[in-house]
Chains A and B, each alone.
Chain A
Amino acid sequence: MAESPAITAPRDGVLGTVSDVLYRRPTLLLLLLLTPPLLWLGIIYLGSLFALLAQSFFSIDEFSGVIQYRLTLKTYGELLAPANLDIIVRTTLMAGSVTVAAAIVAFPIAYYAARYARGKWKALFYLGVMLPLWSSYLVKVYAWKLILAKEGILNWVFENLHLTWLLDAYLSIPVIGGNSLSVSYSGTFLVFLYVWLPFMVLPMQAALERVPVSYLEASADLGASPLQTFSKVLFPLAMPGVIAGSIFTFSLTLGDYIIPQIVGSSRLFIGQAVYSHQGTAGNIPLAAAFAVVPVIIMGFYLWMAKRQGAFDAL
């Protein structure tokens, strides 16, 4: 090449030339790097998502069961039917309570790991949260089927502690109770809490690690009780972690359809509604509209979180 810089000679061979060209044109390199992943994710993933979104604006003919390819909001109107609205409210309430409970249970683990655990213990805590986080979802759900079974370990424990009356009293409470734990909302709640808990611990721990101990000492020195230090100093500073974790627990609960199917009452959650409408009922538009609901709820949730400044601190 005539205009090649005087200092270095062009590299030899095809590879050398290609390498030179790419070095001089970073944009071309960037384009080459990005094209394969963007093609894959853009076409396969985003394409599918848009196809799904489009389908939610179609409707199904009640008599023939044939999908009518005309744009309409009728399917979204069906979501407002009492039975469907029930499903949405039930799922959102469950996601909300699972998130709050996860934050409460996760806090001591995250705080201990962040502040007191050192060296070997720190690694142990980290692994102790990482392993349940990554280990098989189905195996975890299966474990709870074993635990909650009528002849399983939980009933055995209550029996041996002579506390069966307590469990029965709890189960007789309307709404959260039921015939047994494995067919009640409480059972579903427990399994959700168990499966998503590690997703809350890790971001919480990350946030708590960043709280300087001197803040807590200063708070105590200035006369705050431990409870005040917690509510005025520690908790606000841990909030970004809580919100980051809650995004997982909330979103994952909203979309799950396997846990409520295996442990819980027969009343549907959003995921199950999507699954049954697209499967046996063949009502793809309604399934698609149902699938859009968690996306909208999550979008709203993220927007609120952003307004609270949760992302600035992360």
Chain B
Amino acid sequence: MRSDKTLRSPLPLKIAAGAGLLFMHVPILLIFIYAFTTEDKTYQWPPPGYTLKWLGVTWNRPDVWEALNLSVRVAAISTLVALVLGTLCAAAVSRTRFFGREAISLIVILPIALPGIITGIALRSAFNIAEIPFSFWTIVLGHATFCVVVVYNNALARFRRTSASLIEASMDLGANGFQTFRYVILPNIGTALLAGGMLAFALSFDEVIVTTFTAGQQATLPIWMLEELVRPRQRPVTNVVAMVVFIVTFLPILAAYYLTRGGDQVAGHGK
């Protein structure tokens, strides 16, 4: 590739690409504007005026806090489970070749490759058959299952770039397997795990399709929003919640991007 050569792009391509990007971002921008509108009965555009009032109103809503609290707890525990399971799986698949290796990749990816409604209804009917009552833990069960894949992908990519000779060197120098894991492997895959964990958190935090099937009476923040979407009752509060949900998922994604950027500097790369 001649990347040093200055390439001039044709104008129509520039316009089409720019329009495409605008199409992807303007709707999100609108969410931020609507959070400050003074109009509380309709979705009127342009907003008749701007106010910070709804931030305060939302702040004092116990149901929103409850939903937020539940979402954060579910996301945190699902992320932890996914971190453990995803890393184990990635370690096994990256280092060795064995019968059924491809099948394992498939099983890990399946929960996210199949439409969410299938995962959801399958879990729900399984809970019914096993007579497990819906609770906090049934939500976690569902979320952790589809979060494994993002941790797995991130960890696998990093494992493949980490040189095996580092591990051999550590063992040769007298470290046992656990010390090698603690002092050599973990520092190498740390940022990848952090990035995977953050993506898993974001994924779980705003998941709604599987959650509608695995939650009983409890409402996570997305479920709360879904009810508002179907039957709008308190538009201004929903506008603010939408903005908050966006920010809460946006920050981990940004962080994950910066953590996995420039992976070329990983130790042992290009031995």
Q: Give the B-binding residues of A (Cβ under 8 A).
A: 11, 15-16, 18-20, 22-23, 26, 30, 33-34, 36-38, 40-42, 44-49, 51-52, 55, 105-106, 108-109, 111-113, 115-116, 118, 123, 125-132, 134-147, 149, 151-153, 156, 194, 197-198, 201, 212-213, 247, 251-252, 254-258, 261-262, 271, 274-275, 278, 284, 287-288, 291, 294-295, 298
Contacts and interface: CB of A to CB of B under 8 A. Distances in A.
Interface stretch (B50-58, B61-69, B225-233): B225-233
Contact of A112 (B13, B89, B119): B13
Interface string B95-121: 010100000100110110111111101
A134 B148 CA distance: 16
A45 B115 contact: no
Ranked 7 nearest A-B pairs via Cβ:
A255-B115, A108-B16, A19-B177, A19-B176, A112-B17, A48-B126, A143-B27
Interface string B186-221: 000000000000010011011011000000000000
A254 B85 CA distance: 29
A258 B206 CA distance: 14
B118 A52 contact: yes
Chain A contact residues, majority secondary structure:
helix
A144 B242 CA distance: 12
B3 interface: yes
B141 A44 contact: yes
B201 to A, nearest CB: 11
Contacts of A116: 7, 9, 13
A287 B171 CA distance: 55
Contacts of B88: 33-34, 36-37
Nearest to B203: A134
Nearest to A294: B115
A37 B108 contact: yes
B110 A45 contact: yes
B20 interface: yes
A196 to B, nearest CB: 11
A271 B118 CA distance: 9
Nearest to A197: B24
Contacts, number: 250
Nearest to B141: A44
Interface residues of B, number: 84
B45 A151 contact: yes
Contact of B108 (A15, A18, A41, A143): A41
A132 B25 contact: yes
Most-contacted residue by chain A among B114, B118, B253 (CB, 10 A): B118
B122 interface: yes
Given A108-B20, A294-B118, A139 B31 contact: yes
B238 interface: yes
Interface in B25-52: 25, 27-28, 30-31, 34, 42-46
A38 B260 CA distance: 27
Contacts of A213: 1-2
B107 A134 contact: no
Given A15-B176, A19-B176, A141 B115 contact: no
A258 B205 CA distance: 17
B267 interface: no
A127 B176 contact: no
Contact of B176 (A11, A51, A140, A278): A11
A258 B43 CA distance: 20
A271 to B, nearest CB: 5
B84 interface: yes
Residue from the set B2, B20, B245 with the largest chain A CB neighbour count within 10 Å: B20
A143 B30 contact: yes
Given A41-B148, A142-B31, A156-B46, A129 B246 contact: no
A136 B111 contact: no
Contact of B24 (A115, A151, A194, A294): A194
A127 to B, nearest CB: 6
Given A257-B209, A274-B121, A113 B245 contact: no
25 contacts: A11-B176, A16-B176, A18-B177, A19-B176, A20-B176, A26-B96, A33-B88, A33-B91, A38-B107, A41-B148, A45-B111, A51-B122, A52-B118, A125-B21, A127-B257, A134-B253, A136-B249, A139-B28, A139-B245, A151-B43, A251-B115, A254-B115, A262-B229, A275-B117, A294-B118
Nearest to B205: A136
Nearest to A148: B43
B27 A140 contact: yes
B86 interface: yes
Contacts of B246: 135-136, 139
Contacts of A108: 13, 16-17, 19-20
A287 to B, nearest CB: 6
A137 B206 contact: yes
B67 to A, nearest CB: 12
A45 B20 CA distance: 37
B92 A33 contact: yes
B114 A255 contact: yes
Nearest to B128: A284
